[in-house]
Structure 1
Amino acid sequence: MSSSPQCRTIVGDADWPHPAQWSSFNQSVDGKLVATVPIAAPCHRTLFNQANLSLYDEQQCADLRNTWFFSKTHLPSSSSPMAYQFTNNSCNPWLDADSPCTLGYLPNYTVNATSAEDIRKAVVFAKEYNIRLVIRNTGHDYLGKSTGAFSLAVWTHYMKNIELLPHYANDQYSGAAIKVGAGLEGIEANTFADAHGLMLVGGNCPSVGIAGGYSQGGGHGPLVSKFGLAVDQVLEWEVITAQAELLTASPASHPDLYWALSGGGGGTFGVVVSMTVKAHPTTYGSVATLTAANTGNNTDAFYEGIGHFLQELPKMVDAGAFVVWIATPEAFTILPAFAPGLHQDQLDDMFQPTREIFSTLGISLTYQSYEQPTFLELYNSLPDIWNVSDASLGGRLIPRSLLQTNPDGLVDAIRFIASQATMTGVSYNVANATAPDFNSANPHLRDTIFGIVLGEPVSYTDWEKTEEGQQRITNVLLPTLQELTPNGAAYLNEADVNSPLWREEFYGGNYERLDKIKNKYDPDDLFYAKTGVGSHRWEQGDDGRLCRT
């Protein structure tokens, strides 16, 4: 099949750029073009089915396997996603060395962008040659938006500029702000903020990029019950559009683009160069962790205790706490409850009813808490549990009202799912953080008491099992929550990539308006991301080619 305007050009098409054209493009970006070599290439005797390109090294492969599940292994790579399932099993470090190492769904080339001009040139080149364009920062991505077959990627990871704006003012906000480059990780941004007595809303995992799909999709984390979602902090965006223009989008300038970028999802409306956000005075805070054991002989009491804990959640999040809990067949774990602006004894008091009920029910329980004088010290004190996204995911937002209208049904659903898969509850209150319709974050987030995230493990030795796990999420596990929350929603950064109702669930009634803005700024759909706005017009074939439907 040859390429046409209906499809993106792929390798083998007459229109795919020749080596000399790639070379000329590389020169135009000062040698920043990276040809993709999968990081697992040392585990395979052939590369791209060519023995003469072999990078096989048994010791390097063993070293890679030992560190594969750490974020730091993938962060320096221009192509390696932390959610392996979106590679199409192309270069698997756990398969036999004689198995092939191919690109699969990884980008063919990546521009290691360090300036807006690098991004602009990548946009121009992708448009000229009708090539799929992908936007990537860290590779933290649960829905496969930061990779794509036969693509040119823009890698913003080294755009680390950051600037304090002590006296920012517009019609909605007056105070300190910080301008962060597209490549800043949350820990980097908050380390800078702390040096000025400030803190920023960022993610749970320190290495998640703060200005990319995280904030553009909403963004939850330790400070959101106190200040609102990450996207509620955004004052303006700098963005390269599909027309290769550098625009500043704010409530006063290109307000429609500002609204769309602020919650409408990453990789969709343009390439963000920087983001200016509210900065808040740092504060003391406290953390609590709790573990209750399910021995198998106390299961009814175990879930009764969980049900009582859920009834305590509203007062916790209303006081500014952010509570992450995990239910598995073996245990119920709170890891952590993060409470900015609350002292340790205040947090202990909030957990006292939960501790008492588990004790009364005869459930073995451990509880710990502590306090730190600044947000950064508290954040850095958390257990280093953040790993690569080594699970297929699904998610559902649980409205606060369900705790009153059907608490038993909710506990039954949790019990059904947690007996079969890992279940995480991410609890917060962002109801009053911003005026309605000020940004495009899913409106359902405003009445959510917690988001449930389901995980089915990726199998590196059985690709069919991995695919079946995602299907179980879609067809077996999530329906139990969907029945409880008809016409409900999912958080688009932690959702089921195969959801048949993704337009309604991920965007909460905003999709049509978002798509009109998409058509205005990107009429040719240069920016494609699976389940992103406008992606309903496209389909990826078995060969990886992206075509209009």
Structure 2
Amino acid sequence: MAQATRLVLFLITLLPGIQAGLSSPSCRCFPGDACWPSVKQWSDFNATIGGRLISTTPLGSVCHTSKAFGAYDARACADLKTVWPLPATHYETAWSPMQAWFTNFSCNPFLPPDAPCTTDPFVRYAVNVSSAVDVRKTLAFTSRHNIRVVIRNTGHDYLGKSTGPGAVVLWTYHLKHMESLHYTSPVYSGPAMRVGAGVQGFEAMAAAHARNKLILTGNCPTIGVTSGYSQGGGHGQLASLFGLAADQILEWEVVSAAGELLTVSPEKHPDLYWALAGGGGGTYAVVLSGVVKVYPERRTATATLTFDGSEVDPRVFWDVIQHFVVAVLPVVDAGGVAVWAVIEDSFSVTPITLPGGTREQLQSHLQSTVELLKRHKIPYVNHNATALFSALRSIAADDAVISGISMNVSRTQPPNNAVNPAWRNSAISVTLGTTYNYTDRAVDVQRQELMTKELLPRLELLTPGSGAYLNEGDFNQPDWQRVFYGRNYPRLEAIKVRYDPRDMFYARTAVGSERWVERKDGRLCRRGSGI
């Protein structure tokens, strides 16, 4: 797994079913505890939700001789290894984390068959959500038994928010409904689409294209459009043209921690609407769907570029990279987005796009800027490009992968939402990654410490007071409240307390999570409880 981060340059009446568990022990009930529901209780609960309860069977169990999950299957194990890095391998399950770090090497398909394989690091059960009723009944049951709850859609997640030892997952992946509509409100009147929480980017875009429309989705086409992606901000190839994904949301349909089905918009529950749009997923309520803006289809110019620097002086290689990133700023300001990466001696742009533009216009944008730079021997408006690329070069020398997205998400007036204010004056979002070793946990720990303690600080020194993309940050970020949420954090925390006073919804680095600590055995306890 690549440990990655984005540097951006950057009181409710409880319903009867949930009222039952008002005593609040210091720790969430954990498998094996006396409070853990019996087999009959789980069975009875499953009956109330139409058999939608799923017990966890780790994917990698076919690679192990543990008797808990069936026989070892060498052929199935070999097949699994070939697809293990693919997101679909994990998002089509209710429990498998895409980021292997959070499995703590249990049921690891790359370890010997007799290596440990238990459910200890995983969620214990999932509810395949089909409606608000499923959510409400699950919240009532988990509240009554004081069990940890996790919200998961596809599980595209660097920070372990969509998993948790001993938890019950509310799995929204199969909420795939879509509806085109004309939306009218005091802040927007025009075409829109209602999108279920489980709808992925490629599905939403296909539905929009069928109506000659566009919709903002992520650079990764398999993310969920209205789930943690939009709730955390969300960027994509149309971000410079239309803003972030959170800026597209007109209303949310949610189930609150109290079990209430709410329609949330700038006019209805405006504080919750504000928090959901950019304040982080899995935190304030369970999103069932969202209404998003759609736009007329348009031609788009796109280009790719790959440059091999292995045969040139490293200084020349990095000068070319710096030159490209500076020169692409006019394209970004015109509504384009450029995705680029540095991996060892290779630089690639995959791709650069200019929505509404032509090939000639894209080429003209780049060529005219290059000519001006050569003629005047000055950089385009970029106050610290030399220092930035000096830092990136030093980071690459430590065998880190560097990826960047050049964009301008503030070309249009941004709406009033909880997006980290650092996004609004950013030019580049930079991602750093280190390789993940599937057979040596100690090496992975060292690489994670390198990321947190050495690599990221080199960039942070260049952008004091800025922030990072909370969906793709470092889960060990020391001052994550400021870095991920900026000045919005105090207001977000007040909204969290109002809508989820008992902290039903916990996620790592989510608002309010500092009140909890996950112990070495995975047990989630209130910080300072001493248990």
Q: Does the 8 Å contact 1:305/1:358 carry over to 2? A: no
Residues 474-511 of structure 1 deviation map (CA, whole Å, 9 limit, x = unaligned): 01100110111111210101111101010000001110
State whether structure 2 residue 83 is matched by structure 1 residue 67. Answer: yes
- TM-score when normalising by structure 2: 0.91
Match of 2:40 among 11, 20, 23: 20
Contact 2:328–2:366 (8 Å) recurs in 1: no
5+ unaligned residues in a row in structure 1: which ranges? 361-400
2:65 is matched with 45
2:407 to 386, 403, 428: 428
Question: Does the C-alpha gap of structure 1 residues 251 and 61 become closer, same or farther in structure 2, counting only changes over 3 Å?
Answer: same
Structure 1 69/359 Cα, relative in aligned 2: closer, same or farther at 3 Å?
A: farther
Q: Paired residue for 2:53, among 33, 42, 50? A: 33
Residue 26 of structure 1 and its aligned partner are, at CA, apart by: 0.5
**Are residues 16 and 542 of structure 1, via their aligned partners in 2, closer, same or farther at CA, if it must alter by over 3 Å?**
same
Trace 1:441-456 onto structure 2 (pairs within 5 A): 441-456=419-434
Counterpart in the other structure of 1:412: 390
Distance 2:274 2:47 in 1: 36
Q: CA deviation at 1:409?
A: 0.7
| Counterparts of 1:225 and 1:175, CA distance in 2 | 20
Is 1:92 equivalent to 2:113 in the alignment? no
Matched, 1:176 2:191: yes
Which residue does the alignment assign to 1:140? Answer: 156
Q: Indicate which of 339, 342, 351 corresponds to 2:366.
A: 351
Question: Which secondary structure does the structure 1 equivalent of 2:306 belong to?
Answer: strand
Residues 365-514 of structure 1: pairs in structure 2 closer than 5 A: 404-419=382-397, 420-435=399-414, 438-514=416-492
Q: Which amino acid aligns with 1:428?
A: M
Aligned residue number for residue 396 of structure 1: none
**CA drift at 1:359:** 12
- Counterpart residue identity of residue 488, structure 1: S
Instruction: Supply the distance in 1 between the matched residues of 2:211 and 2:198 (Cα, whole angstroms).
Output: 20
Alpha-carbon distance between aligned partners in 2 of 1:337 and 1:405, rounded to the nearest angstrom: 23
Instruction: Supply the AA of the counterpart residue of 1:5.
Output: P
2:218 to 197, 200, 203: 203
Q: What is the rounded CA distance, in whole Å, between the counterparts of 2:501 and 2:108 in structure 1?
A: 37
What is the deviation of 1:306? Answer: 1.6
Deviation string, structure 1 residues 316-347 (Cα, Å, up to 9, x no partner): 11111111110122111111112211111111
Cα shift readout 1:390-439 (whole Å, capped 9, x = no counterpart): xxxxxxxxxxx996332211110111112220000111101243446x00
In the alignment, the residues of structure 2 paired with residue 8 and residue 352 of structure 1 have an alpha-carbon distance, to the nearest angstrom, of 60
Could you tell me which residue of structure 2 aligns to residue 104 of structure 1?
120
* Structure 1: 4+ residue segments shifted above 4 A: 353-360
Contact kept? 1:429, 1:448, Cα under 8 Å? yes
Aligned to 1:329: 344
The CA deviation string for residues 270-295 of structure 1, in whole angstroms up to 9 with x for no partner, is 11000001111111102111111212
**8 Å CA contact 1:89, 1:104 repeated in 2:** no
Offset of 1:457 from its aligned partner?
Answer: 1.2
Is this contact kept in 2: 1:232–1:433, CA < 8 A?
Answer: no
Cα displacement (A) at 1:75 = 2.4
Tell me the matched-pair count.
501
1:137–1:156: 8 Å Cα contact kept in structure 2?
yes
Query: Residue 445 of structure 2: SS of its match in structure 1?
Result: helix
Residues 135, 55 of structure 1: alpha-carbon distance in 2 compared, 3 angstrom cutoff: farther
SS at match of 1:416: helix
Looking at structure 1, the residues matched to 52 and 435 of structure 2 have their Cα atoms a distance apart, in angstroms, of: 35
- Whole-angstrom CA distance in 2 between matches of 1:402 and 1:345: 21
Match of 1:300 in 2: 315
- 1:352, CA displacement in angstroms? 2.9
Alignment partners' CA distance in 1, 2:522 and 2:373:
51
Partner of 1:538: 516
Q: Aligned-pair distance for 1:104?
A: 3.3
Residue 298 of structure 2 is aligned to residue 283 of structure 1 = yes
TM-score by length of 1: 0.88
Asked whether the 8 Å contact 1:339–1:347 carries over to 2, the reply is yes
What is the CA RMSD across the aligned residues, in angstroms? 1.9
TM superposition shift of 1:5: 1.3
Letter in 1 for 2:504: L
- Structure 1 distance, partners of 2:313, 2:87, is 37
Matched, 1:338 2:316: no
Alpha carbons of structure 1 residues 270 and 158: separation in structure 2 relative to 1, 3 Å: same
Q: 1:308·1:354 contact (CA, 8 Å) conserved in 2? A: no
Alignment of structure 1 residues 189-200 onto 2, 5 Å? 189-200=204-215
User: Which 5+ residue runs of structure 2 have no aligned equivalent?
Assistant: 1-22
1:525 equivalent among 485, 500, 503: 503
CA 1:476–1:158 in 2, change beyond 3 Å: closer, same or farther? same
Higher relative contact order (CA 8 A, sep 6+): 2
